[in-house]
Chains A and B, each alone.
Chain A
Amino acid sequence: MSDARDPTQFDPIVPNTGEEYEPLEVFPEDDGFDLRPGADSCYKCSTCDTNCPVAEVDDDFPGPKFQGPEQWRLKQTDDDYEIDPSISECSNCLRCDTSCPSGVNLAQMHNTARGEYVDNQVSKLSVKYIRNRILANYRTSAYFASMFPRTANFFMNFGPVRWAMEKVMHIPSEREFPEFATQTFRQWWSERGGAKVHSDDKKIAYFHGCYSNYNTPEVAKALVRIYEHFGYEVMVPPQKCSGTPMFANGMLDDARRHAETNVEELTAAIEEGADVVASCTSCSMALRNEYPELFDIDGIDDLAEHTYDAVEYLRIHTDVRQELEAAEVSGELEEEFAYHAPCHARNQGLERQAIELFRDLDGVAVEDVGESCSGISGTYGWKSEKYEKSMEIGSEMFEHMEESEGTTGMTECPTCASQMEHGTGYEVRHPLELIEAALID
């Protein structure tokens, strides 16, 4: 029998394998995150692999179980081990993370592995690196484009320009560039003179993200009107990109710079008594989940604890459900909708929120088109070498959308929306727009 048999003589605090053994210094040279405890929780059930939309269509992709816990172990036991290049085939949908019955933190493992791969193994002069950096820094391009939105809209979808982009930058010419609004949300907000409702105890700070500022200000305006309808004072602090496209491209330094601004500005709003809400589910996931997993910035946990999805926050703090049950929708949005839940909404348990909320709303029907992934995954589908794969992943969603009664799409995620439009030709709306249509005038 082992010497640990008598529990009274066993003290797990004191190492019992020899005096030199220091359990905290197994990997002394590593000053990053130690994910070993997470890797040890993996019991190889492969549930993550059965949820991976990339592994389902790509025979060469080894799957999330390999990318996360297995690769982590290889790396820890072999000093020369380099991150497998297949990490850049991962689309960062994070369904693996949502599925793991053992709570292994696959999101954190994939993001750190990808960051390390891009830092150490990718040439900073390669066209793909430069292209990825431009894609990941969408906010910068959008900022310039929004100065001359009509010109940008014309050139970004102008045939010869797109041909050149495909040849030089490997940006697929099949994709339609999102249209830039002629007035950004922030311009509208300052023209309006900011908040119309002032309150000492009901305040939210709106993280609008890049997309609803530059491309779909109607979503952001809907949010403002809904929250003011419920008596909230809306704050719109200065902000940068949430960082999601940068995580997905392994550009953690870029992401960190943006995160620092966001954490500083949003925690200042929290100190004034606000909670933070986001209308894009990838943004809310970044603030809630990815920030504290990847960075160590003052106030970052405080921000995570106070961040919510915009609709989720209404469900908790207002009687939006009862109001919707009593309301009806007529006019432009009196429609049947084919709803797709974004992967990053699933990750936050929001995959059924729109279905539940609109179940008893007169004048509309919202049908869930199922659990398939749209396949675009932010910048993933914007790369020529991944375009076909992204469309193959999305094919199930396109079919389900076409089978459903509705011919208008609905989702919370702007890039899912563009893939839904691209694959089916449907117009796509945000749940906030429907709430606005039901509750306000």
Chain B
Amino acid sequence: MAIESDVLVIGGGLAGLSSAISAAREGADVRLVTYKQSTLRQASGLIDVLGYTPDGEGPLTDPYDAIPELPDEHPYRLLGEDTVREAMSMFDEVADTYRGGHTDVNALLPTYGGTVKPTARYPEGAAAGLASDDRDLLLVGFEAMPDFDAPHVAAHLEAAGVPFDVRGETIQFPGDLMDDAKVTRYAKLLENNGPVEVRGRERGARDALVERLNPLIEDEGRIGLPAVLGDADAAGVRAALEAELGIEVFEVPATPPSMPGVRLEDRLFEAFDEAGGNFESGNPVVSFDGQDRVETVYVDKQNARIPYSAEQFVLATGGLVGKGVESDREHVYEPIFDCHVEHSEDRYDWFDEAVFGEHPFAGFGVDPDAELRPLDSAGSPEFENLRAAGSVLGGYDFAAEKSGSGVSIATGYHAGRLAAQEAQ
């Protein structure tokens, strides 16, 4: 026997969760299995749909306008604009702490590096930082968190021509934490107003931080801090700071490890749970049974092989970083089902000499049909009941296009819905 479900989703990142939620909303009995935690925790927490065309044109004002012009093999072209829109509506319903759904137009957000990034949805906590807002802006970084150098970021934003004055300051986080304190340590201290020692006295970390920020504020209307303002109750931390400081507070989207990514992951698992889904993490799917159809997959639980069977399967294991696509010196492959991955035989053709050139490896992945079933080298579906979603798909370069989250959500939504419909 085996552990059974209608739909089994392999992978717990944005694509896996989107397909699991969409399948569960169709009424299917859905299970998600994921090997460890996904690269979503390393993502900024911003949801990009499309920021630039594959030719580098942009930043794009309206990502949907550009979809018809994308290459044929691009996942958005396979799905069509309407499906991408439906998928984003599902995201908006599920991630109710996100903003940006009121318009098709990309928002512009300042990043840790001081660039301005076009993005489709952003966490509530980043909203006051919009670059299209003309209120003057104060950025404050912490000495022990060198990833966010506020004066440097401010200078970059000035140079980018933002329509407001921006100033950066660096302070010591109250309590003099060790130089590489964890982001969760900051988040927890601020959320609980936990005790820190300031000049020999024990203080609440949040109260002490307010005291350090207050004298820095001149006539700015908003203040940006690194994205460590709380974990489970980020809104509460922000509200408490705003009440004390008298101006709006926002988080600048983070570099890894990223609290906004962690919070989004938590929210999506919660939504999947609410939709009745089952999930588990920590162990990889390593093999399967089946010829034309996948019948059973095996999870390697620390040496014991546990069988999971389902009617329909969704492969959402990620790209090169997430290890859904792997390579050795001879070839590039998809490790679970060995689905075909198109690539040159000569590995010196896998990349471009220029660092920011057009790297073929960035587009490596399985190529699907319109139903998102991975195709073999002859162009037929590898299995009739296996679909793929997210960065395990080829045909697009999310880093250059700024389309990673959008493709994951849209293909996940579509794959999950089709799988659920067919399973019932």
Contacts and interface: CB of A to CB of B under 8 A. Distances in A.
A313 to B, nearest CB: 10
Contacts of B282: 98, 346-349, 351
Contacts of A306: 304
B391 interface: no
A316 B2 contact: yes
A59 B257 contact: no
Contacts of A47: 37, 41-42, 256-257
Interface residues of A, number: 50
B291 interface: no
A14 B36 CA distance: 35
B347 A7 contact: yes
Given A62-B180, A101-B322, A288-B301, A356 B278 contact: yes
A182 interface: no
Interface in B1-48: 1-3, 33, 35-39, 41-42
B306 interface: yes
B283 interface: yes
A349 B37 contact: no
Contacts of B180: 62-63
A59 B178 contact: yes
Interface stretch (B100-108, B182-190, B210-218): B182-190
Contacts of B181: 55, 59
A414 B256 CA distance: 35
Contacts of A100: 36-37
Contacts of A359: 276
Contacts of A12: 329
Given A56-B188, A288-B302, A316-B3, A45 B256 contact: yes
Contacts of B35: 103
A301 interface: yes
B322 A346 contact: no
Interface in A11-69: 12, 45-47, 49-52, 55-57, 59-60, 62-63
Interface string A82-111: 000000000000000011111100000000
A59 B39 CA distance: 26
B1 A101 contact: no
Interface in B270-323: 273, 276, 278-284, 299, 301-307, 322-323
A305 B303 contact: yes
A229 B175 CA distance: 59
A100 B283 CA distance: 11
Contact of B257 (A45, A288, A317): A45
A288 B33 contact: no
B82 interface: no
B418 to A, nearest CB: 24
Given A45-B257, A304-B304, A316-B307, A59 B41 contact: no
B243 interface: no
B171 interface: no
A7 B346 contact: yes
Contacts of B307: 316
A351 B301 contact: no
A353 B3 CA distance: 11
Interface string A156-197: 000000000000000000000000000000000000000000
Interface string A289-310: 1001000000001001111100
Given A59-B178, A316-B3, A305 B257 contact: no
B140 to A, nearest CB: 21
Contacts of B280: 349-353
Contacts of A98: 36-37, 281-282
Given A98-B281, A312-B306, A316-B3, A348 B182 contact: no
Q: Which of A50, A103, A347 has the most CB of B within 10 A?
A: A50
Query: Which of B276, B284, B306, B323 has most A Cβ within 10 Å?
Result: B306
Contacts of B299: 349
A353 B305 CA distance: 17
Given A292-B303, A304-B303, A316-B1, A348 B283 contact: yes
> Which of B183, B185, B276, B322: most chain A CB closer than 10 A?
B185
Given A50-B41, A59-B181, A101-B39, A288 B303 contact: yes
Given A52-B182, A63-B182, A102-B323, 8 more contacts: A45-B42, A47-B256, A49-B184, A50-B262, A59-B177, A98-B36, A316-B306, A349-B33
20 contacts: A45-B257, A46-B256, A47-B42, A47-B256, A47-B257, A49-B183, A49-B257, A50-B183, A50-B257, A50-B259, A55-B182, A56-B185, A99-B36, A285-B302, A316-B1, A346-B282, A348-B283, A350-B280, A351-B282, A352-B280
The 6 closest A-B pairs by CB, nearest first: A304-B303, A349-B280, A289-B302, A46-B257, A288-B302, A55-B182
Interface of B: 1-3, 33, 35-39, 41-42, 175, 177-178, 180-185, 188, 256-257, 259, 262, 273, 276, 278-284, 299, 301-307, 322-323, 329, 346-348
